[in-house]
Amino acid sequence: MEDDAQITAPLSGVARIAAYVKTLPDAPGVYRMMDAKADVLYVGKAKSLKKRVASYAKSGGHTERIARMIADTAEMLFVTTASETEALLLESNLIKRLKPRYNVSFRDDKSFPNILLRQDHAFPQLLKHRGAKTTKGVYFGPFANTGAVNRTLNTLQRAFLLRSCSDSVFEARTRPCLLFQIKRCAAPCVGRIDAAAYRELVEEAQRFLAGKSRAVQGELARDMETAAAALDYERAARLRDRVRAMNQIQSVQGINPSSFAEADLFAAFNQGSETCVQVFFFRAGQNWGNRPYFPRHTGELSTGEVLEAFIGQFYDERPAPGLILLSEKIPNRELLSEALSLRAERKVRIVAPERGEKRELMEMALNNAREQLGRRLAENAAQRELLEGVADTFGLDTPPRRVEVYDNSHIQGGHAVGGMIVAGPDGFEKGEYRKFNIKTAELAPGDDYAMMREVLTRRFARLMKEDDAKAKRPDLVLIDGGPGQLAVACQVFADLGVENVALAAISKGAERDAGYEHFHLPGKAPFRLDQKSAVLYYLQRLRDEAHRFAIGSHRKKRSKAIGANPLDEIAGVGASRKRALLQHFGSARAVAGASLADIEGVPGVSDTLAKKIHDFFHPSG
């Protein structure tokens, strides 16, 4: 019987990989290694799939990381490509999407902001833009963050006096707004500047953002001297203020290179198994900000290997500039350069500078990366200590890796929303936050217990149905409330059969002052922590974050309900018919009270649609 079981058991590890080698082509492609639960362990590319996979089928000579990966492999998937370059592009895309355990990966869920100079209006608008570039205009960017864009925009308004208001506000103005009064807009909306003069401002702004800042400043300085010589001191003062604003942009940006105009700079600093990659954006000869990243990887990889994998994923959905500067030499520089050039449809150079201005900039960026990683490691150490303190406080065997905190928000039961926030060793995990719109129709207004029961039931009923390997099971659930809310949570867990998840509740003291919170555990008397306890402060932060998230979700729901129009719910009533009804009756409430004959009298509304509208508001009729 043992021999039969051995024969029928599925292969894994070296034996399973060796079985694939015979059928693989000697061609470039991408392979995926998966475990017995079909979770992707690793994504790799190869110039020859046959040779690369054969290297895994050897019984020895692997690093500890590779040996573990091979041992866990139960299945493999393969995709052949026309070239190794295409394989590299596909590999980066799959790693970013699947986030395999043994690959370098990083969270990158936000697009970078840009400055948009619109070209679809007689008086172009200068504004911040994020997302798809569908609006007609000239885009300048990327900027590292919203703060960098806002600072640049504020100064550009002072330098070029371009409008920032929307078209609807622009058309409705009858007198200049405050921005004109503080000399940050030329007020084209009320004719304080004509179209020709405004176009000159637009052209100056466009040249400045395109890298011709010195030429623009020189022209304005000469105009200022001419105005002063002609005793037109008011115009000279305006020009002086604009030149100062341009100088301020450059001084705030700090580093403005002279040896190149456009580049992305990547500085990677590694300590142990942690790496910080500082990314600086240089456009038009100006520094447009920087952002740190902390890619996840195993400790066996070199800094160059981490950097190469990071860059491939970084440019998966965004075009690369013509020049990429690196702090480290990477193993496949030429191949990566070719792949990025193919995607960007222009030549992309990858350089690791060794001297000159570029190297000086790199040293500055490396210092930033070193300091940022030091702060992160210190924060992580402090976070681990806090979680160890939470474990001691609530009697857990080990520090929790996932803490879920729940709170509800409503006004007299209206627009009720439940909120769940998640925290762990890396702090708040905002991508895991969830809101629950309370659905129970017979819920009594303000019944917090019933709301908590619904939220926990929905969350953990779904969790119990998920595959254990993929389920994100909390180690600790913290409820914002007292013994009543805790009793509800205990009952939900008992009904659903939830085990190995610790429960606790946090309630404010009699005076509802911070520092006097009581903590409640199943079957134990309430207790308090020392007011100077770091664990108390941490638990307060968790509670307050859950409260903030629940209130924010409630306010959004309430605002949406306030702005909702019942006409939107009627099939056949589109934007034009809705407009006709509102213009005819004045409000949706008036439409609701109108007779069938009155609705039939609205231009563009057929008798059939009129009856449908009338029946919607008078279902019994």
CATH number at residue 528: 3.30.420.340
SS3 of residue 236 by DSSP: helix
Is the separation of the CB atoms in 183 and 193 below 8 Å?
no
Residue 360 lies in a domain: yes
Is residue 419 domain-shared with residue 546, that is, in the same domain? yes
Q: Pick from 98, 126, 155: which residue ends a domain?
A: 98
Number of domains in the chain: 5
Chain center to CA of 538: 25
Q: Indicate whether 379 belongs to any domain.
A: no
Asked if 118 contacts 167 with a C-beta cutoff of 8 angstroms, the reply is no
CA distance 273 to 65: 13
Strand duo 502-507 + 476-480: pairing: parallel
- At 2 the pLDDT is 41
Same domain? For 232 and 151 the reply is: yes
Flag whether 472 is in a domain. yes
Question: Using CA of residue 131, residue 132, residue 137, residue 141, what is the dihedral sign?
Answer: positive
Helix (H/G/I), strand (E/B), else coil: 140 = strand
The reply to whether 395 falls in a domain is: no
Tally Cβ neighbours within 10 Å of residue 546: 27
Specify if 396 maps to a domain. Answer: no
The answer to whether 209 touches 117, Cβ cutoff 8 Å, is yes
Residues 427 and 485 in one domain: yes
**Tokens representing residue 319 in the block:** 């075009």
CB 92 within 8 A of CB 124: no
Q: Is 461 in the same domain as 549?
A: yes
Q: Is 431 domain-assigned? A: yes
* Claim to verify: residue 555 and residue 408 sit in the same structural domain: yes
Closest CA to 128 of 151, 100, 161, 104: 151
The pLDDT score that the predictor gives to residue 280 is 92
pTM tops 0.75: no
CATH number, domain containing residue 613: 1.10.150.20
The reply to whether 329 and 359 lie within a common domain is yes
Number of CB atoms found within 10 A of residue 99's CB: 15
Question: What one-character DSSP code corresponds to residue 190?
Answer: G
Considering the domain architecture, whether residues 554 and 574 belong to the same structural domain is answered as no
Report whether 135 contacts 118 (CB < 8 A): yes
Segments of the chain with pLDDT less than 70: 1-12, 108-110, 211-214, 245, 247-256, 410-415, 440-446, 467-471, 509-515, 553-565, 620-621
Bond preceding residue 142 cis, omega within 30 of 0: yes
- Looking at 327, 354, 374, the residue that finishes a domain is 374
Closest by alpha carbon to 493, among 484, 503, 478?
503
H-type alpha helices, 513-606: 534-563, 575-585, 588-593, 596-600
Q: DSSP 3-state helix, strand, coil percentages of the chain (rounded to 5)?
A: 45, 20, 35
Q: Which domain holds residue 305?
A: 263-374
CATH number for the domain that contains residue 93: 3.40.1440.10
pLDDT of residue 46: 92
Give the model confidence (pLDDT) of 345-394 as tens digits: 889 999 999 988 999 999 999 999 999 988 888 878 888 889 999 999 99
Residue type, 201: L
Check whether residue 577 and residue 557 sit in a common domain. no
* Residue 184 identity: R
Residues counted in the chain: 621
Same domain, 407 and 485: yes
Q: What's the CA gap between 138 and 283, in Å, rounded?
A: 14
The reply to whether 338 and 323 lie within a common domain is yes
Domain boundary among 52, 68, 98: 98
Phi/psi of residue 438, nearest 5 degrees = -65, 125
> Would you call 436 helix, strand, or coil by DSSP?
strand
Q: What is the pLDDT of residue 8?
A: 46
Answer whether 621's CB lies under 8 Å from 614's CB.
Answer: yes
Same domain, 528 and 574: no
What are all long-range contacts of 292-298, with beta carbons under 8 Å and residues at least 24 apart? Answer: 292/368, 292/369, 292/372, 293/106, 293/108, 294/106, 294/373, 294/376, 295/104, 295/105, 295/106, 296/104, 296/105, 296/106, 297/103, 297/104, 297/105, 297/273, 298/65, 298/102, 298/273
What's the CA gap between 263 and 211, in Å, rounded?
13
**Nearest by Cα to 36 from 463, 469, 465, 466:** 469
One domain, residues 528 and 432: yes
Q: Based on the number of CB atoms within 10 Å of its own CB, is 345 exposed (0-12), middle (13-18) or buried (19 or more)? A: exposed
pLDDT at 557: 59
Say which residue the tokens 């400043």 belong to. Answer: 217
In a domain, residue 542? The reply is yes
| Residue 411 pLDDT | 53
- Residue 514's SS3 state is coil
pLDDT for 387 equals 92
- Order the strands of the 29-34 sheet from edge to edge: 40-46, 29-34, 75-80
535-588 tens-digit pLDDT: 998 999 899 898 888 887 666 655 555 555 677 778 778 878 888 888 787 777
Query: In this structure, are residues 411 and 558 in contact, taking their beta carbons and an 8 Å threshold?
Result: yes
What's the pLDDT score for residue 6? Answer: 43
And the tokens for 466? 């998920």
Measured in degrees and rounded to the nearest 5, phi and psi for residue 499 equal -130, 165
